[in-house]
Every structure is written in structure tokens, then in C-alpha cells.
Amino acid sequence: MILAGDVGGTKTRLALFEPGSPARAPLLERRLESRAYPTLEALVGSFLAGAAASPRRAVLGIAGPVVEGRVEATNLPWQADAAALAAALGIAEVRLMNDLESTAWGLSLLTPAEVEVLQPGFPATGNRALIAAGTGLGEVILAWSGAAWRPSASEGGHADFGPREPVEDELLLWLRAKYGRASYERILSGPGLADLYRFMGESGRGAEPAEFASRFAAAEDPAAVVTAAALDGSCERARLALERFVAIYGAEAGNLALKALAVGGVFVGGGIAPRILPFLRAGGFARAFASKGRLSPLLAKIPVGVILDDRAALWGAAAVGLSEERWS
């Protein structure tokens, strides 16, 4: 039996597979709330308690930098170690990888209907890139080997934020005052979108409907409140915040495309993008993506698509676990 998992800052998907089965055909699959468990061992142990058989191998994608089989989760109060996890759960082989790396392994398993095209472009033979905003911001480069794409995890979402115009200069100073440092993840994440709304209010931008401030302040997930109000047009300030979020998202996706020379395409993953498709389709993302001065013609040719299947990371972890070649 093979265990595969996508361990995110908010939710976790775990599934069991028969060896030799397709990576999208689990025998058992469950979604769990990550923060309901004190450790990764506790979360996986809870899942396995309801399984008929124990796995011999596990591949888990987890949000955070994985170094020599160990990770301190970025948006969870967890530290995890592959060897310790194997010993605690009685699993012979455990591999931990960055969650976006597992998503990258899952790209080849997606159907065309599971990717929304934002910019058709003209794909060329070469590298790809993946960027994903959710609880945090993940980035991966997929290097073309001449026969296949090999994902390389990164923590590029924590790179310094680079403003492009005066309002973003103000945003940089606001974030620096609040956090001491401004990274792209401070903007391109659920908490980041909520902060963008706060910035718009404190800088006097956009009207706010009566009672919205109290609803925003009381919300368990204020970013969801902002998103809903922007999508239904009930709050001008929410619309401005989401439009700016989309523009900065596109700009950083373009930065990643330049660094990777991702002429094979850029994929946008994570939990936020599928929820804000009307704003992504409006063109602000693609304009910011391609607005790179002398390199703009190159960026305009790169295909860009949004991953609609929120189980891509699970499928990728399963593909690695089921493949003896990838495991070795």
C-alpha cells in the first residue's frame, strides 16, 4: 500500500493506493483540518487508524522548506522528520517534499479541462514554472531535461516585494511598518489579501459599505469576506484590494517566468486562483505578467494557465510514491 498526502497550512488530503494503480485512483481518501492536530504524526496516524492496511511507503507534500528529510512547516506549528515519522507510524519508507513540488509532479496528470487558460501564448521546448497563492505563496521551477520536466522546490515566495508604481510604494512602506520586512507572501496569500484590504482603508482608498468593517473584523477568514464582496460588487474597497492582488500576482508570476526562462508555460495553482477567476480573466494578471520592459515580447508568448483541480498535489505525491524510478 502507498500513502500519499498534500499537507497544507489549512487542510490536508491523504489517500491510500494499491501499488501499480493509477495515481488518480485511490482506494481511500480523506480531507482533514491541519490545525486540528498537534503534529504531522498525529494527523497521519488518525487517518491510518481508519484504514484496512498499513502502507509500506509514504510521500507527503508539505508547505515548508524540506532539507534532508526535515521540515519546519511555514504556516503550521509543526516540525516533521521523515525518519521519525516512519518510525512512529511503522512505515518502511517516508519521503517529505515541498507541497508545491508535489503539485508540479501532478501537472502531467491534469486534463485540459482542469486548466483555465489565461494567456494562450506559444509554448516552446524548455522550462516551466508553477506559482501558487493560498495560506502562503509557493513557487517551483520545472527544469526541462530533454525528456521530462523535473521540479525543483524553492522558497521564492518569501523574496523581497518589489513595487512597480506609487500605490505599491506606499504598500511596501505599510507592510514594512507592520512586519519589518515585505515579502511577496505578505501580499499573495489569504492573510495578504486581508492586509491589502486594511491598507486600502488606512490609505483612504475605496468606499466601504455600512456594517462591512464589523463583518470583516469578526470573520474567521477575512480574505474570504473580501473576495465575496469584490466578486458581487458590494464593496468598492474590496474590489480595489482584489484588483491590486491580481496585478501583483501577475507581476510576480512574470518575475518567476523570467528567472526560470519558463518558455514551456507558467501554471497558477493554490486555493485562491480558482475562486477569483473573474478577476484573473479580466486581464490585469496577464498585463502585469507580460509588462517586463525589453523582455515583454518574450513574456507575451509564454502560456499561462490556472489549475482548477485542487487535488493536483495529491496526484503528484501519489505519482512519486507509485513510481519506482522517481523514488530512486
Tell how strand 11-17 and strand 2-7 pair up: antiparallel
* pLDDT at residue 75, as a whole number: 76
- CA-nearest of 40, 48, 45, 148 to 99 is 40
Structural domain boundaries of the chain? 2-105+311-327, 111-308
pLDDT tens column, 188-225: 999 999 999 999 999 999 999 999 999 999 999 999 99
Query: What mean pLDDT do residues 68-73 have?
Result: 89
Please check the confidence at residue 236 and state whether its pLDDT lies above 60: yes
77 band by pLDDT with thresholds 50, 70 and 90: confident
The residues facing 138 across adjacent strands are: 132
- Mean pLDDT for the chain? 94
Cβ atoms 262, 141 nearer than 8 A: yes
73 band by pLDDT with thresholds 50, 70 and 90: confident
How far apart are alpha carbons 55 and 68 in whole angstroms? 22
CATH class entry, domain 2-105+311-327:
alpha beta
Q: What are phi and psi of 221, to 5 degrees?
A: -125, 85
CATH class entry, domain 111-308:
alpha beta
The residues facing 70 across adjacent strands are: 67, 81
pLDDT tens column, 246-280: 999 999 999 999 999 999 999 999 999 999 999 99
Rounded to the nearest 10°, the torsion over CA 256, 259, 265, 267 is -20
Burial of 28 (0-12, 13-18, 19+ CB in 10 A): middle
Q: How far is CA 281 from CA 119, 188, 250, 265, 284, in A?
A: 9, 17, 12, 17, 8
Please check the confidence at residue 324 and state whether its pLDDT lies above 70: no
Domains 2-105+311-327 and 111-308 share a fold: no
pLDDT tens column, 83-116: 999 999 899 999 999 999 999 999 999 999 999 9
